[in-house]
């Protein structure tokens, strides 16, 4: 009987303990939930008070006024084509003579679109190698994907990386690598297009991105992404779909995963806490881990090749040295010029992502310009043909640099359709711009897309006119300085500007020499709009049909 009572007590104690433990867990979850939402509520209340009482409302800066704390002008900006709301505010509320326009977006984020090139100059030439910075970037979700490379790093960390990396971008070896590989790879790309039946529609964005990805892989890292394999498969399957198949490269697959928009990432960015997306979104963590593993392989392979060359006394041919090889050689010569493994990994990811996407977008928008402004297509071709009459010989940089009208055309593409149409800067302290008091953490939008249409700086600003770039006068150069900054300007100008420019011109000169571009029949009558979520792109996606110049002649 005693044993039964004891057993009953044990069972009762176990049940009671389990109930108590469950209650404690539920209580902790409830308290944590209350604490989380309480913190969010306090944070949003703080943001609301700052938004409502911001001195920007009393500064007399023109703009659409208070449109509500929760959305502000976000809905209109998201819905309308790129920068169209801003043009509307300039033309109806302010004027082009105003130095800036004021508006707010979600959760009371105050924003200024800067219209004065002197203010843009002040912001862009401010020192970027010292901490604290006068003007800084908020990199949002980008650092979750790329780590802390030149695009995302700030202050002394950025300055150190820039000093180590910059010499490699200005060596003759890198120019030789571009001259060696870009023409031959573009020729291979063109051969695949010629294999396809005439009149087959081509999705320009995916095709050009495949080419530039393979170019940056070979030129910058001695790595084969084999993105052109998908172009070859497309050309050999005339009955197949027009869209390219998915890349087989693990790095590209991982990058596509982390770039895919999702609810957690979007909300964390809008709340101003992008780091949360990395912790609450497992696909971002997994994709980032896969990217890191693949980049580590690329770096190890480059190191192995460098070691073998040193041991064998191998003399490399002209154009053989990649950007990564140049960086590793600098590290061997001087330990002060070295990046640790994590830093090097982040920089490689940054170069792959930013490098191929920027050039691909410039080329894509150049083809878009040829479609939108067909009267210039023949003029550009004639200039190319004059300097390179034989289509049997590959183009080189020396010849391309002599093509004045072609180069003017490429500059006009950058003015009208820049790959990155706007950048943002913030100040940690109260500053004065054009006599107005600007409080800390105000978002300042510097848009080369908008300034490229400013009537004070450009004649006929809304017209596509390559001829304007044939004006080599100091007066013209002075007038557009800091009104034209497609690769940013000042200390943080794009380190890859020279690389991208050489690559884009070599690609486009060869494509225009080889083909006549026309809009795909499926898009006839389509009114395109421009979007710039990450880089500039037409909506809907641009599709073309091509005709070989050999057949035209």
CATH number of the domain that residue 296 is part of? 1.10.630.10
Beta-bridge partner residues of 203: 543
Residue 403 forms part of a structural domain? yes
Residue 55 forms part of a structural domain? no
Report how far residue 544's alpha carbon sits from residue 522's, in angstroms, rounded to the nearest whole number. Answer: 9
- 108 in Cβ contact with 48 (< 8 Å): yes
Q: Where in the sequence is the domain holding 508, given as residue range(s)?
A: 155-552
- 470 in Cβ contact with 407 (< 8 Å): no
Residue 425: phi and psi, rounded to 5, are -135, 155
Question: How confident is the model at residue 524, as a pLDDT?
Answer: 92
Name the token pair of 373: 């402004």
DSSP state of 83: T
Question: How confident is the model at residue 241, as a pLDDT?
Answer: 63
Residue 68 forms part of a structural domain? no
Please count the structural domains in the chain.
1
Question: How confident is the model at residue 452, as a pLDDT?
Answer: 97
- 434 in Cβ contact with 409 (< 8 Å): no
Report how far residue 155's alpha carbon sits from residue 362's, in angstroms, rounded to the nearest whole number. Answer: 29
Residues tagged in the binding site annotation for heme: 494
Q: Can you state the percent helix, strand and coil of the chain, rounding each to 5?
A: 60, 10, 30
Question: How confident is the model at residue 7, as a pLDDT?
Answer: 38
DSSP state of 447: -
Helix (H, G, I), strand (E, B) or coil at 225: coil
Kindly report the length of the chain: 553
Query: Which ranges of the chain have pLDDT less than 50?
Result: 1-16, 553
**Which residue, among 239, 216, 240, has the nearest Cα to 228 in the 3D structure?**
216
Question: How confident is the model at residue 9, as a pLDDT?
Answer: 47
Q: At what angle do helices 172-195 and 323-333 cross, to 10 degrees?
A: 160
Question: How confident is the model at residue 10, as a pLDDT?
Answer: 44
Report how far residue 411's alpha carbon sits from residue 307's, in angstroms, rounded to the nearest whole number. Answer: 42
Cis, peptide link before residue 287, omega less than 30° from 0: no
Residue 471 forms part of a structural domain? yes
Report how far residue 496's alpha carbon sits from residue 355's, in angstroms, rounded to the nearest whole number. Answer: 7
Residue 502 forms part of a structural domain? yes
Residue 119 forms part of a structural domain? no
Report how far residue 283's alpha carbon sits from residue 261's, in angstroms, rounded to the nearest whole number. Answer: 11
The helix (H) or strand (E) run that includes residue 387 is: helix 377-387
Report how far residue 72's alpha carbon sits from residue 93's, in angstroms, rounded to the nearest whole number. Answer: 16
Residue 137 forms part of a structural domain? no
Whether the model pTM is above 0.85? yes
Residue 287 forms part of a structural domain? yes
């Amino acid at each position: 009987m005693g044993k039964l009572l004891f057993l009953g007590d044990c069972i009762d104690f176990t049940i009671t303990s389990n109930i108590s433990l469950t209650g404690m867990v539920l209580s902790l979850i409830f308290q944590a939930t209350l604490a989380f939402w309480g913190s969010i509520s306090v944070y949003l209340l703080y943001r609301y008070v700052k938004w409502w009482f911001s001195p920007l409302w009393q500064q007399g800066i023109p703009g659409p006024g208070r449109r509500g704390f929760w959305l502000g002008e976000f809905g209109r900006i998201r819905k309308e084509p790129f920068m169209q709301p801003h043009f509307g505010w300039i033309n109806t509320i302010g004027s082009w003579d105003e130095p800036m326009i004021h508006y707010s977006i979600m959760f009371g984020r105050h924003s200024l679109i800067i219209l004065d090139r002197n203010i843009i100059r002040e912001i862009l030439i401010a020192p970027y190698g010292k901490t604290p910075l006068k003007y800084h970037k908020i990199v949002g979700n980008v650092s979750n994907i790329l780590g802390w490379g030149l695009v995302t790093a700030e202050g002394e960390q950025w300055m150190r990386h820039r000093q180590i990396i910059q010499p490699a971008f200005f060596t003759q070896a890198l120019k030789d690598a571009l001259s060696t590989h870009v023409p031959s790879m573009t020729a291979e790309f063109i051969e695949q297009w010629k294999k396809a039946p005439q009149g087959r529609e081509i999705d320009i964005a995916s095709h050009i991105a495949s080419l530039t990805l393979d170019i940056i892989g070979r030129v910058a890292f001695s790595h084969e992404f084999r993105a052109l394999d998908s172009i070859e498969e497309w050309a050999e399957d005339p009955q197949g779909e027009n869209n390219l198949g998915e890349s087989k490269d693990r790095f590209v697959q991982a990058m596509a995963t982390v770039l895919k928009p999702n609810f957690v990432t979007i909300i964390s960015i809008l709340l101003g806490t992008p780091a949360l997306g990395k912790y609450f979104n497992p696909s971002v963590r997994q994709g980032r881990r896969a990217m890191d593993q693949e980049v580590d392989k690329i770096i190890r392979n480059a190191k192995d090749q460098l070691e073998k060359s040193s041991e064998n006394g191998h003399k490399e041919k002209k154009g053989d040295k990649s950007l990564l090889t140049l960086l590793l050689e600098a590290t061997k010569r001087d330990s002060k010029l070295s990046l640790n493994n994590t830093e090097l990994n982040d920089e490689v990811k940054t170069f792959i992502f930013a490098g191929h996407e920027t050039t691909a977008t410039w080329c894509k928008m150049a083809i878009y310009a040829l479609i939108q402004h067909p009267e210039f297509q023949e003029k550009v071709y004639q200039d190319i043909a004059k300097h390179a009459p034989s289509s049997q010989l590959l183009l080189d940089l020396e010849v391309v640099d002599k093509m004045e009208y072609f180069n003017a055309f490429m500059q006009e593409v950058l003015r009208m359709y820049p790959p990155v149409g706007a950048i943002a800067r913030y100040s940690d302290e109260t500053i004065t711009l054009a006599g107005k008091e600007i409080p800390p953490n105000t978002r300042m939008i510097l848009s080369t897309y908008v300034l490229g249409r400013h009537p004070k700086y450009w004649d006929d600003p809304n017209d596509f006119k390559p001829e304007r770039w044939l004006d080599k006068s100091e007066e013209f150069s002075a007038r557009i300085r800091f009104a034209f900054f497609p690769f940013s300007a000042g200390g943080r100008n794009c380190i890859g500007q020279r690389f991208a420019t050489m690559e884009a011109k070599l690609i486009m000169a060869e494509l225009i020499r080889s083909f006549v571009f026309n809009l795909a029949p499926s898009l006839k009558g389509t009114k395109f709009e421009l979007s710039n979520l990450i880089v500039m792109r037409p909506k809907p996606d641009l599709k073309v049909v091509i005709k070989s110049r050999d057949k035209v002649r």
